[in-house]
Structure 1
C-alpha cells in the first residue's frame, strides 16, 4: 500500500514539474537547448516604407499625380494610382526644391512632407489651413484639387 502511494506521489510530482516546464514529454528536453531568438521578417519601418498613402485620393486621382510626377520629377514607376515610396520620393524632390522640405528623400509621408505639401497647396490649390504637418480634411481637399489639375499630364 505504501509503495502504491509513493508511486502515485512520484508520478504526480513528475506531472506537476512537467506541466510547469511545458509538457510531461517535454519536461526532460525543455532545458536541453537555449531558445533561439528569431528575427522578424520585416520591421515596422520596413512595412511603413512600402505602404501606399494616397492622402484620400482615388486610384484615378493618384494616377494623375503620378503622371505629373513622371513628367516633371523623375518618377519612373507604373501609373497605377498607388502613391507608394517611389511616388513620394518624386514628390519630395519637388517639395525640397520649391516648398521648404528639408528632410531626406525617403518616400515616407511624415510631418515634414505634409508641411511642405501644405505650403505648395496654400500657394496653388486654395489650402487655407495651418502648416502643421497633419493631413487633415483641408489638406486632402487641396490635394484632390491638385490631382484634378494634374489630369492634363496623362
Structure 2
C-alpha cells in the first residue's frame, strides 16, 4: 500500500509541475491521494475475499483441481480458499459452457451464481430457481459437485 501511495503522490506532483501549480499540490493533495488509495485498496480487498459457499477446505481444493483444466486455466495455489483467482477460473469455465456473459472479474456475484446454478442443475441435482442467490440448495449442489471432482480431477 505504501508503494501505491508513493506512486500516486509522485503522479500528483508530476501533474502539478506540468500544470505549474506544484505549490497547490502540497500536503492536502498528498493526503487526499493517500485517502483515495486506501479506499481503492479497501475495494480491492473486498473483491479478493474468499467465498467458498459452504464448501470445506478439502472440497474447495477439489474445485481448484478441477479448474486447472482448459478453459478455466487456474494456476493459483491449491489452498482450499476460493478467492479471486479461483472465481476468475470458474467464470472462464462458466463462460465457455454455461452461458456466463459477464466480466471475468473474480467476483462471484449474481450472474456468476446463475451460471453456476445452470451447471449444477445439469448433473448435481440442483432443482431450484436459477435466481443468482447462493441459497441452501445451491450450496448443497456445489458440495456434490466438489465431492465428485475429487474422483475425476485428483490433485
What is the CA–CA distance in structure 2 between the aligned matches of 1:85 and 1:116, rounded to whole Å? 17
What is the CA–CA distance in structure 2 between the aligned matches of 1:78 and 1:87, rounded to whole Å? 9
Deviates more, 1:105-114 or 1:63-72: 63-72
* Residue 48 of structure 1: aligned partner: 46
Deviation at 1:49, TM superposition (A): 1.3
Deviation at 1:45, TM superposition (A): 2.8
TM-score, with structure 1 as normaliser: 0.74
Matches within 5 A, 1:21-36: 36=31
Deviation at 1:98, TM superposition (A): 1.0
Q: Would the alpha carbon gap of residues 46 and 138 (structure 1) be closer, same or farther in structure 2, given more than 3 Å must change?
A: same
Q: Deviations over 1:11-54 (max 9, x none)?
A: xxxxxxxxxxxxxxxxxxxxxx9795451524343122110000
What is the CA–CA distance in structure 2 between the aligned matches of 1:134 and 1:109, rounded to whole Å? 10
**Unmatched segments (≥5 aa) in structure 2:** 1-26
Which structure has the larger Rg? 1
SS of the residue corresponding to residue 51 of structure 1 reads coil
Q: Are the counterparts in 2 of residues 48 and 108 from structure 1 also a CA contact under 8 Å? A: no
* Residue 4 of structure 2: aligned partner: none
Structure with more of its chain in helix, by fraction: 2
Deviation at 1:68, TM superposition (A): 0.4
What is the CA–CA distance in structure 1 between the aligned matches of 2:100 and 2:81, rounded to whole Å? 22
- Superposed CA RMSD in Å reads 1.7
What is the CA–CA distance in structure 1 between the aligned matches of 2:85 and 2:130, rounded to whole Å? 24
Deviation at 1:134, TM superposition (A): 0.2
* Residue 58 of structure 2: aligned partner: 60
* Residue 127 of structure 2: aligned partner: 128
* Residue 39 of structure 1: aligned partner: 35
What is the CA–CA distance in structure 1 between the aligned matches of 2:46 and 2:142, rounded to whole Å? 21
What is the CA–CA distance in structure 2 between the aligned matches of 1:133 and 1:54, rounded to whole Å? 15
What is the CA–CA distance in structure 1 between the aligned matches of 2:97 and 2:128, rounded to whole Å? 19
Count of aligned residue pairs for this structure pair: 122
**Unmatched segments (≥5 aa) in structure 1:** 1-32
TM-score, with structure 2 as normaliser: 0.73
What is the CA–CA distance in structure 1 between the aligned matches of 2:123 and 2:28, rounded to whole Å? 61
